[in-house]
């Protein structure tokens, strides 16, 4: 980790390719606290662990038990650690992050796999319709009186309030 940037080395990644992720907000606060907690006191001296996340300066090999305990304490039994990846993808897309950037952050190399994580639900469909409706109302407000009286085809329309043809 370098400042607010995490650099995942290729040998530590699932697909053998390195990645760079910047951190901010709550995640940055967590990382800062964990870095401060790297100091481990022994009987003779203090040691600074190489790892930000560790258990008595030893690498955490399997987090399943700790994850299950944390989920139980939070009332979220049954959640999978991997669910965080799907949540992150959905949150980035809903926040307006360009999909290519979200793919880079999440480590998805192909569009098809990325799309499996970016699940569309009923709320997404509802929001799409609401946004479309808002757009159409705004467009209607932008039309001038002349625009409203013009027809896009050659059909003549009679104004019922006036004997003239529009």
Provide the β-strand partners of residue 7: 20
Q: Are 23 and 5 in contact (CB under 8 A)?
A: yes
Q: Model pTM greater than 0.85?
A: no
* Cα pseudo-dihedral 71, 76, 80, 83, rounded to 10: -120
Provide the β-strand partners of residue 41: 46
* Predicted local confidence at residue 9, as pLDDT: 87
Q: Are 52 and 35 in contact (CB under 8 A)?
A: yes
More confident residue, 91 or 59: 91
pLDDT tens for residues 4-20?
888 888 888 777 888 88
């Amino acid at each position: 980790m370098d400042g607010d940037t995490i650099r995942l080395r290729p040998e530590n990644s699932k697909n053998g390719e390195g990645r760079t992720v910047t951190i901010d907000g709550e995640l940055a606060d967590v990382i800062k606290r964990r870095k401060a907690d790297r100091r481990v006191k022994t009987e003779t001296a203090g040691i600074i662990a190489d790892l930000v996340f560790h258990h008595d300066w030893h690498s955490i090999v399997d987090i399943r038990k700790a994850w299950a305990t944390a989920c139980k304490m939070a009332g979220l039994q049954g959640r999978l650690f991997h669910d965080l990846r799907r949540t992150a993808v959905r949150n980035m897309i809903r926040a307006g992050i360009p999909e290519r950037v979200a793919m880079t952050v999440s480590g998805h190399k192909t569009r098809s796999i990325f799309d499996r994580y970016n699940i569309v639900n009923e709320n997404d469909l509802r929001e799409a319709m609401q946004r479309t409706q808002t757009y159409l109302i705004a467009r209607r407000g932008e039309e001038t009186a002349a625009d409203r009286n013009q027809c896009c085809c050659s059909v003549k329309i009679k104004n019922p309030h006036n004997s003239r043809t529009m």
